[in-house]
Amino acid sequence: MRADQHRAGAKKNTRLDTCETQAIGRSKGGLSTKIHATGDALGNPTGFHLTPGQAHDLQGADVLKVQ
């Protein structure tokens, strides 16, 4: 009989399932946030804009294009 970590009842990493370890928005609850960023020719960040996860990507691009 084989007993790998899943069949043997190995301890699960419950720390990753808590809301404290999630960043912006709720990934498991359906809500999320998109980060739209711009940079210069060297790759240095020059600006960013946050939009709701359900918003279209171009909403963030329009704001950054004006900057």
Q: Residue 21: which region, alpha, beta or left (left: phi > 0; alpha: psi -120 to 50)?
A: alpha
**Residue 61 belongs to some domain of the structure:** yes
Q: Is residue 3 domain-resident?
A: no
Question: Is 12 among the domain residues?
Answer: no
The answer as to whether 29 is a domain residue is yes
Q: Is residue 20 part of a domain?
A: no
Instruction: Please check whether residue 59 lies inside any domain of the structure.
Output: yes
55 Cβ contact list (under 8 Å, min separation 6):
34
Instruction: Report yes or no on 8 lying in a domain.
Output: no
Record the pTM.
0.47
**CB within 8 A of 38, min separation 6: which ones?**
45, 46, 47, 48, 64, 67
**Tens digits of residue pLDDT in 4-48:** 666 666 566 555 555 555 556 555 656 788 888 889 999 999 988
The answer to whether position 18 is within a domain reads no
> What is the tally of structural domains in the chain?
1
Structural domain range at position 36: 25-66
